[in-house]
């Protein structure tokens, strides 16, 4: 049985999904599941149907990336799972390396890494060098694409959070249960940007509403913020700035925040301690 599974949701972007599939280049078998999230464009559907070496699952109704990933999760059986957006590209051979790291660290539920940007602009996003539960109650500095242990992902319910912040919800769920992971310390994938809204997503316009939903879903974690802050010992500027920039009543417009995030990416700055 393959130890690696890659889940690729696709909606009317069959050509991009084909590139994503082609980027999965490993020296071992990989379960690749492409989930057609109710595409309506005939050329896109045709591109997906022409894919070789993958399992193609079609949803009758579009549920967006969260539900598509859950559909893909149910269609796989490998112990390590990697979600890859259809417009992103994996670095060659990286999955086997990440799986080796998880196998060597039984206590780790996941492993994450950095990513490079291409498309609208270029740069490198440097992920935190450790898992930061207090920080993640204010901002999600971790990438969408990481390698998860299947049993850990299933334990937290997978991608069930509010649409747009479903990835953040997964990291909060891990933190709430005291689960942690390890950094890869390298670039693991390339993220394609199509415009400013791709930096933090259109969901930033609804930040207050979605953030409130995250707090409702993880009350235990948010109630322990003081304890988490003492354990994490964040820099003074984070203690002062994060509640203002990223709290429920964030005063920074999402376009300004997107600019700040883009600048950090271009400069190779790390959103951590």
Structure tokens given for 87:
């417009």
Q: What is the pLDDT of residue 203?
A: 65
Strands 180-193 and 108-119: parallel
Using a pLDDT cut of 70, give the percent of the chain over it.
86
| Residue for token pair 């390590």 | 80
* Closest to 13 measured CA to CA, from 59, 45, 51: 45
**CATH classification of 1-87 is 3.90.550.10, yes or no?**
yes
Structure tokens given for 266:
């271009």
* Closest to 138 measured CA to CA, from 69, 71, 47, 237: 237
Q: What 3-state class would DSSP assign to 229? A: helix
Cβ-proximal residues to 195 (8 Å cutoff; 6+ apart), any chain: 120
Q: Average pLDDT for residues 220-224, to the nearest whole number? A: 97
Q: What is the pLDDT of residue 131?
A: 98
Query: Could you please report the per-residue DSSP string of 176-206?
Result: HTT-EEEEEEEEEEEEEE-STHHHH-GGGGG
Which DSSP state fits 91?
Answer: P
Handedness of CA 49, 54, 55, 61 (dihedral sign): negative
Domain boundaries, the chain: 1-87, 91-273
Quick one: pLDDT band at residue 1, thresholds 50, 70, 90?
Answer: confident
- Weakest mean pLDDT among 69-83, 91-105, 190-204, 239-253: 190-204
Contact indicator for 146, 119 with CB cutoff of 8 Å: no
Quick one: pLDDT band at residue 207, thresholds 50, 70, 90?
Answer: confident
Residue 130 to residue 180: CA distance in whole angstroms: 9
Q: What is the pLDDT of residue 206?
A: 82
* Closest to 86 measured CA to CA, from 189, 167, 161, 182: 189
Q: What is the pLDDT of residue 243?
A: 86
How does pLDDT run across 52-90, given as a tens digit for each residue?
Answer: 999 999 999 999 999 999 999 999 999 999 999 999 999
Q: What is the pLDDT of residue 187?
A: 98
- Weakest mean pLDDT among 126-130, 168-172, 204-208, 214-218: 204-208
Q: Which parts of 59-206 fold into alpha helices (H)?
A: 64-74, 94-104, 133-136, 150-155, 166-176, 197-200
How does pLDDT run across 178-196, given as a tens digit for each residue?
Answer: 999 999 999 999 999 876 4
């Amino acid at each position: 049985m393959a130890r690696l599974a890659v889940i690729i949701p696709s909606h009317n972007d069959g050509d991009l999904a084909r590139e994503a599939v082609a980027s999965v280049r490993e020296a071992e078998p990989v379960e690749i599941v492409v989930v057609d999230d109710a595409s309506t464009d005939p050329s896109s559907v045709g591109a997906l149907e022409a894919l070789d070496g993958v399992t193609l699952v079609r949803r009758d109704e579009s549920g967006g990336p969260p539900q598509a990933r859950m559909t893909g999760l149910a269609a796989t059986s490998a112990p390590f799972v990697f979600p890859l957006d259809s417009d992103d590209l994996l670095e060659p051979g990286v999955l086997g390396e990440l799986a080796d790291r998880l196998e060597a660290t039984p206590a780790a539920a996941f492993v994450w890494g950095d990513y490079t940007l291409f498309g609208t602009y270029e740069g490198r996003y440097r992920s935190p060098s450790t898992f930061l539960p207090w920080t993640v109650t204010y901002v999600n500095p971790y990438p969408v694409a990481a390698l998860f242990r299947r049993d850990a992902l299933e334990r937290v319910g997978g991608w069930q959070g509010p649409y747009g912040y479903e990835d953040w919800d997964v990291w909060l769920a891990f933190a709430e249960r005291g689960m942690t992971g390890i950094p890869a310390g390298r670039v693991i994938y390339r993220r394609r940007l199509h415009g400013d809204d791709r930096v933090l997503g259109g969901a930033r316009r609804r930040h207050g509403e979605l953030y409130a939903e995250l707090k409702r879903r993880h009350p235990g974690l948010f109630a322990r913020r003081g304890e988490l802050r003492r354990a994490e010992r964040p820099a003074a500027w984070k203690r002062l700035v994060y509640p203002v920039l990223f709290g429920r009543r964030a005063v920074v417009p999402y376009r300004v925040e997107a600019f700040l995030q883009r600048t950090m990416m271009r400069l190779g700055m790390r959103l951590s301690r």
